Amino acid sequence: MAMAMDARRLKTVENVFGIESAGLLLADILPPWLQDLNLLVEQVEAGRPPGAPADWQPGVVIRLPFSSKLSRDGLVCPQALMAVADTAMALACAAAWNGHRSMTVIDQTMHFLRPVNFDLLADARIIRIGRTTNFGRVLLSSAIDRRPVGMVSSAYVML
């Protein structure tokens, strides 16, 4: 119960953490260099949708528009992909908590499956929320055909 009280609440825009809240959070917590990625929030699932499968997990989907500023030889650099995955997990945690809490990554592993030269979707899901540590996964895929381009597993500690 105390953890719920510690959640940083944004301006009231929705009853549950949704797309508007996620957009405000991106503007509030991201440093300017990360805002230059021009990330777009596509979907937020803070609560179990009707008819969701038993293994449903809270999460978000964000889009990284392709940009030559993030590329070398026409391919998005791996550092940008990690930044997108980390940002998606921060938003997924906020969706699960219905608000932002200070946290930091303690482990993040990415498997690159193929090069990226197109808009990218990052689907971040919370696997487990512990008392002080959270675990999640991010599937990076093409926004065109949804084929996977990367997988990320991560762990965060709440500050």
| Distance of alpha carbon 144 from alpha carbon 101, whole angstroms | 33
Q: Quote the CATH superfamily of domain 2-47+55-158.
A: Hotdog Thioesterase (3.10.129.10)
Question: Where in the chain are the domains?
Answer: 2-47+55-158
The residue among 131, 139, 8 whose CA lies nearest residue 61 is 139
Could you report the per-residue pLDDT of 79-134, keeping only the tens digit for each?
A: 999 999 999 999 999 999 988 899 999 999 999 999 999 999 999 999 999 999 99
Paired residues of 134 in beta bridges: 129, 156
Could you report the per-residue pLDDT of 17-31, keeping only the tens digit for each?
A: 899 999 998 888 889
- pTM, two decimals, is 0.87
- E strand segments, 10-131: 40-45, 59-64, 71-72, 75-76, 103-112, 120-129
The residue among 2, 23, 18 whose CA lies nearest residue 98 is 18
